[in-house]
A = this chain, B = another copy of it.
Amino acid sequence: MNFEEKTLNKTTVYSGRILNLRKDEVLLPDGKTGTREIIEHSGGSAVLCEEDGKILMVKQFRYAYGEELWEIPAGKVNKGEDPLKTAFRELEEEGGVKAEKMELMFNMYPSPGYTSEIIRIYRATGLKKTRQNLDEDEFLSASWIEKPRLKEMIDKGEVKDGKTLVALLAVL
């Protein structure tokens, strides 16, 4: 069966700093037309960084939820940037860690009903501690957390971020 939806027309209704919003008219598989509201986002890179049984985590206030979340180091891919470069950069900026190597673990689609963002999840190896170097409007704290403690945090529902759950569940 072919379930493809074909674009009839694309309309950008908002162009912003970190995202654009489109409202497209599409041709559905049954020949009817429909609309699709789509967020355009340049993507994210996230890094699983493990040493001596501990994983590097950051705690960050997330305005969308009004709460602080535990996440692995991550950031937005700049326009035209190689996501691998983003991963090295964010690990150093947020976590204060330089890595020699990044291996791709997952290409994750966070919410495919309306966003076209792709989050790449990497595993970093060959680690060397440097120092945190945050963006001007970025406020977060980094900690190395033991794996059994992380398992407990997941079981208690204290880890909510999608990319972080995927990365941790893959190694715990």
Contacts and interface: CB of A to CB of B under 8 A. Distances in A.
A43 to B, nearest CB: 10
B28 A165 contact: no
Nearest to A66: B4
Contact size range, A: 35 or more
Contacts of A111: 41, 44, 110-111, 115, 117, 119, 162
Interface string A22-60: 011010111010111111010010000000000000001
A169 interface: yes
Interface stretch (A9-17, A78-86, A95-103, A124-132): A9-17
A16 B17 CA distance: 20
Contacts of A119: 111, 162
17 contacts: A3-B140, A24-B63, A28-B137, A29-B61, A39-B39, A41-B111, A64-B109, A64-B115, A71-B112, A107-B157, A109-B160, A109-B162, A111-B115, A111-B117, A111-B119, A112-B161, A119-B162
